[in-house]
Structure 1
Amino acid sequence: MNFKINDLRTSIEYLKTFPNQILETDVEVDPFAEISGIYRYVGAGGTVKRPTKLGPAMIFNNVKGHENSKVLIGLLASRERVGLLLNEKPEKLGFLLKESLNNPIDPIAVSNNEAKCQEVVHLASDSGFDIRKLIPAPTNTEEDAGPYITMGMCYGTNPINGLSDITIHRLCLQSKDEISMYFVPGRHLDALRMMYEKDNKPMPISISIGVDPAIEIASCFEPPTTPLGFNELSIAGGLRNEPVKLVNCLTVNEKAIANAEYVIEGELIPNRRIREDINTNTGKAMPEFPGYTGSSKPELPVIKVKAVTHRKNPIMQSCIGPSEEHVNMAGIPTEASILILLEKALPGNIKNVYAHPSGGGKYMAIIQFIKRSPSDEGKHRQAALLAFTAFSELKHVILVDEDVDIFDSNDVLWAMNTRFQGDKDIITIPGVSCHPLDPSQTPEYSNSISQVGISCKTIFDCTVPFHLKDKFQRSVFKEVDIKKWIK
């Protein structure tokens, strides 16, 4: 790829060289519910309520109440588009991330004068300062607790050893200078926040919005693949073969991504909590990746905003929680994490792994397993068990043979229908911790579940027993060059 991508704008310009990847509109749009309502039909996909489909990313050039700002949605809501942006075949993206993880390049710091993200500065001490007017964050549905930042790269540093971490979190704009922050239990930034809170100190934090997609994908790696203290920006450096550039914030002791479209500088206030839906009282938060609207949380940590900086004519980047965009951001790192562990434990047996969209990139993985000899029988189920270890939020694993296209759901279901018997090919592992946003993980749903967040993990073995492989050969068609008949 000769076109060099190093930020959001170069990503957009590169995609414009391909047909049907970027759609722009100058028609005025209301960020309250309309942006997501429109994109649901254009290209959301994922677990969004039907009708929906995959399609181009969309740029809204005329956002009500936000002159000189644009909103981009759906940049990564297509595996093909992610492949274009990372210069890799869509089916090989998990392998690409695995290689980048094995060959990281640490980020570097640049001067404030070089930082495009600080071209325009708004201080919280300025009269009239209001993050809701400065940032065109969409409200995804009419029930949402408020405008949400859904693509914010949250960056914080360990107060003890100085190691930094970057992740994406649910951020609701609650007032002119306060943002609530939802942490799924076990997230690294929450561990850092608790270190500061233990000493009754505010935690400096930056939120970078609108960055190189390599950063957005890399930030979604999770433990044990990236343990506490591993800076995922080094994976983005490996993807681009050059370091990510960081810059010192202007009002807090933290760094931000230097070429971001927006940066929010602030502090997590110790022992301060806020009800997530304090402005709406709907009991709802926002649409989440399983396809349901998350319940608002009664007590969430609060970020006190100190400043907002941005590029001239900034582009706000957003996504729909249940969309294909979340699938790709969460799912491709999931695939890489599983591949890393399986290739070490079972070299030569794993052809590929796919984090299926129906699980939002987290709940379901399809493993393409190669049985080369009778001794490989049973190893495929070991692979499934290892996948649960590689990614703890995984709920279901489907095992298929090497002749099944794991990226074609019809082909996977064909394997389930012709190579699977429910009484012998289902393996259940009850009482295991999973992801808290699965609404079926409650004692009310099943008496086998002791508390919210506990799940029954399940393996669906849709592979042919090795000694029967000769009886399960797919029909072989003649190989032809169809160009002779179809131009």
Structure 2
Amino acid sequence: MNKVTDLRSAIELLKTIPGQLIETNESVNPMAELSGVYRHIGAGGTVMRPTKIGPAMIFNNVKGHEDARVIIGLLANRERVGIMLDTKPEKLGFLLNESVKNPIDPIVISNEFAKCQEVVHYADEPGFDIRKLVPAPTNTEEDAGPYITMGMCYASDIETGESDVTIHRLCLQSEDEISMYFVPGARHLDVFREKAEKEGKPLPISISIGVDPAVEIAACFEPPTTPLGFNELSIAGAIRNKPVELVNCLTINEKAIANAEYVIEGELIPGRYVREDQNTNTGKAMPEFPGYTGEAIEKTPVIKVKAVTHRRNPIMQTIIGPSEEHVNLAGIPTEASVIQMIEKAMPGRLLNVYAHSSGGGKYMAVLQFKKLKQSDEGRQRQAALLAFSAFPELKHIIIVSEDVDPFDTNDVLWSMNTRYQGDVDTIFIPGVRCHPLDPSQSPEYNALLKDKGMSCKTIFDCTVPFNLKEKFERSKFMDVDIERFM
């Protein structure tokens, strides 16, 4: 069993495994250059080619930030995620499903033991500037500004006290202001913010950067698997079989992750909004998971920063928006949600699910389904409908039989080419709410759509009809012990 408890122990573990981590002492500019380098080293995902899946990378010499390092791509490889969560890559969805069902609540420790508060900078001190304290990069030269892309945003309902942790798009706008983008819909922190704003109250919020990868994965669960009031830190506790340690912030009435590399303390100010690209006027925000740069939002809520705390010699963690890292962050919780929903309805039929890289972990899933008897015919399509319910942002689902590897795209496409007929195996579900960052999900693209973020969801049934199984048997090769021949 590995001993990962925070970002630094995860890094130490990866150092022991060839090919999973590299470092460079070459000077790098955090403005576009850092991401430009990693695009070739290990970004993968929906990043424009050439790119590839590769090791995580630490930059030890970041221009303008002599006392800090930046790590990128920590989760940009499913095998690496499995190493850090101590399970096989193909079983990650099952691990998270069990963790959701057996949560362990976080605990609060004393401030004197909080590593994240080893160094403290208060916003009312002369010369305070978050842009100089936190080495947040830009992904491209068009970005609206430096972005915190891996900040664990933690806030609580002012009425019930229930807390939630989520990852959001955070742009550094000035020395003490950060804009925060909420995707339209039932994002829990936005519910908290709107409730506070209606009462004219600021919402305290902490942003923890550089934490245990289990926390980062757990933070990406969405409803209905984790409804309003469900603290996703309890999932991370279950993954580690140990509660996540929180600490009281120094300037706001909120908590933060105690062993984070950085913590930003602040308040979402009621009625305070800014144009996301007010400093660049590019019209662009930053690259998002579908592979396109998101439009700058005209009116984004603002966090007024009260303090920045960090560990000694802190390590900033960042990601490339459309990289394989987003696929794993969003996709593995998606898989767990789908497994949970389908297993309840039809136990033993769903063998596995993969939230495919080409959909950024959100738009496409491959279901591996086993038909046990003739009456199971059609249940594979019911399973796909359940998957859409488990994760509403799914757009396309491909269903394959038990002899097809859902993680091998060539095998999936082979199944589509030999076990699928478009006119009988395609199911269209038009006019369903999906996700606004897909540029095709708009009335401009499809006049039948009534609003941006709606889509025609589609099921591709590439399973073998139960009564024709004998006609679709794959060639049977001899099983041998290849070690004798290597």
| Coarse TM-score class (shorter-chain normalised) | over 0.9
Question: SS in structure 2 opposite 1:104?
Answer: coil
Taking the aligned partners of 1:443 and 1:4, their CA distance within structure 2 comes to: 50
| Equivalences for residues 67-82 of structure 1 within 5 A | 67-82=66-81
Partners of 1:274 and 1:21 lie apart in 2 by 40
1:199 aligns with 2:199: yes
Q: CA deviation at 1:157?
A: 0.3
Q: Corresponding residue for 1:103?
A: 102
SS, match of residue 167 in structure 1: strand
Correspondence list, 1:306-385, <5 A: 306-385=306-385
**Which amino acid counterpart does residue 301 of structure 1 have in structure 2?**
P
Determine whether 1:403 maps to 2:403: yes
Give distance in 2, aligned partners of 1:161 and 1:289.
Answer: 33
How far apart are the structure 1 equivalents of 2:448 and 2:408? 33
Distance in 2, matches of 1:340 and 1:484, equals 41
Unaligned 5+ segments in structure 1 are: none
Residue of structure 2 equivalent to 1:247: 247
* AA at the equivalent of 2:131: R
Question: Are 2:24 and 1:25 aligned?
Answer: yes
With normalisation by structure 1, the TM-score equals 0.99
Alpha-carbon separation, structure 1, partners of 2:423 and 2:252: 59
Query: How big is the shift at 1:259?
Result: 0.2
Partner SS, residue 317 of structure 1: strand
1:177 aligns with 2:176: yes
- Structure 1 runs of 4+ with >4 Å offset: none
Aligned-partner residue type, residue 348 of structure 1: G
How many residue pairs get aligned? The number is 485
Map Cα deviations across residues 378-409 of structure 1 (whole Å, 9 max, x no partner): 00000000000000101010000000000000
* AA at the equivalent of 1:252: I
Does 2:471 match 1:471?
yes
Give 1:448 shift: 1.4
Q: In 2, distance between residues paired with 1:448 and 1:416?
A: 28
How far apart in 2 are the matches of 1:196 and 1:398? 42
Match of 2:432 in 1: 432
Distance 2:482 2:133 in 1: 55
Aligned partner letter, 2:262: Y
For 1:36, the equivalent position in structure 2 comes to 35
In the TM superposition, what is the alpha-carbon distance from 1:247 to its structure 2 partner?
0.3
RMSD between aligned residues? 0.5
- Partners of 2:160 and 2:259 in 1: CA distance: 26
What amino acid is aligned across from residue 71 of structure 1 in structure 2?
A: V
Which residue matches 1:257? 257
Return the letter of the residue paired with 2:275. R
Amino acid of the structure 1 residue aligned with 2:113: E
Q: Give the whole-Å Cα distance in 1 for the aligned partners of 2:309 and 2:485.
A: 58
* AA aligned opposite 2:338: I
The whole-number CA distance in structure 2 between the counterparts of 1:87 and 1:462 is 32
Aligned to 2:288: 288
For residues 346 and 224 of structure 2, what CA distance do their matches in structure 1 show?
Answer: 18
Distance 1:332 1:485 in 2: 36
1:119 is the counterpart of 2:118: yes
State the secondary structure of the residue aligned to 1:31: coil
In the alignment, which residue of structure 1 is the partner of 2:421? 421
**Shift of residue 251, structure 1, vs aligned partner:** 0.3
For residue 222 of structure 1, give the secondary structure of its aligned residue in structure 2.
Answer: coil
> 1:348 Cα shift?
1.2
Distance 2:3 2:444 in 1: 52
> Separation in 1 of the partners of 2:194 and 2:55?
40
Partner SS state of residue 236, structure 2 = helix
TM-score normalised to structure 2 length = 0.99
Q: How many angstroms apart in 2 are the aligned matches of 1:234 and 1:443? A: 40
Q: Give the structure 1 partner of residue 216 of structure 2.
A: 216
User: How far apart in 2 are the matches of 1:34 and 1:327?
Assistant: 22
Q: How far off is 1:4 after superposition?
A: 1.2
Query: Hey, what's the Cα distance between the residues in 2 that align with 1:478 and 1:244?
Result: 48
Q: What is the deviation of 1:44?
A: 0.2
Once the two structures are TM-superposed, the CA of residue 485 in structure 1 deviates from its matched residue by 1.7
2:93 is matched with 94
Identical columns (%): 73
1:271 match: secondary structure: strand
Measured against aligned partners, the alpha-carbon deviations of 1:123-181 in whole angstroms (never above 9, x if no partner) come to: 00010000000000001100000000000000000111111000000000000000000
